[in-house]
Amino acid sequence: MQNKLIAQGFEYYWNGAVNHFTKTEATIYQAMITIEENYTVTLKLDDGGVILWIHCKCSCSHSPYCKHIAAAYVALQLQNSSTPKAGLGID
């Protein structure tokens, strides 16, 4: 994920765009990101904490990540007690 996109994710996180962030299963998290509309982002980690995949139900053209994914990624990094390993080319 590009540094610019991660910075945007921090901005959205600190401005309260991450309205809901929960662990739905042992290795799956869901976030509700509100930026003009509500977007659901789902993150799956492996048992070691490596991010396997992230999915957002938006139509943003940022490939393969969007600003909603960036905000959810930041929330995961800041709210998870054991920091997940990046995976998927996310540094």
Q: Are residues 22 and 32 in contact, defined by beta-carbon separation less than 8 angstroms?
A: no
String of DSSP letters for 11-71: HHHHTT-EEEEEEEETTEEEEEEEESEEEEEEEEE-TTSBEEEEEE-S----SS--HHHHH
Confidence label for 61 from pLDDT (cuts 50, 70 and 90): low
Rounded distance between C-alpha atoms, residue 75 and residue 19, angstroms:
10
Confidence label for 80 from pLDDT (cuts 50, 70 and 90): low
Domains in the chain, ordered, with CATH?
3-79 (3.30.310)
Give the per-residue pLDDT at 91: 41
81 compared with 76, residue with greater pLDDT: 76
pLDDT in tens, 4-50: 888 999 999 999 999 989 999 888 999 999 988 999 999 999 988 88
Question: Is the pLDDT at 89 greater than 50, yes or no?
Answer: no
Give the per-residue pLDDT at 64: 79
Question: Is the pLDDT at 81 greater than 70, yes or no?
Answer: no
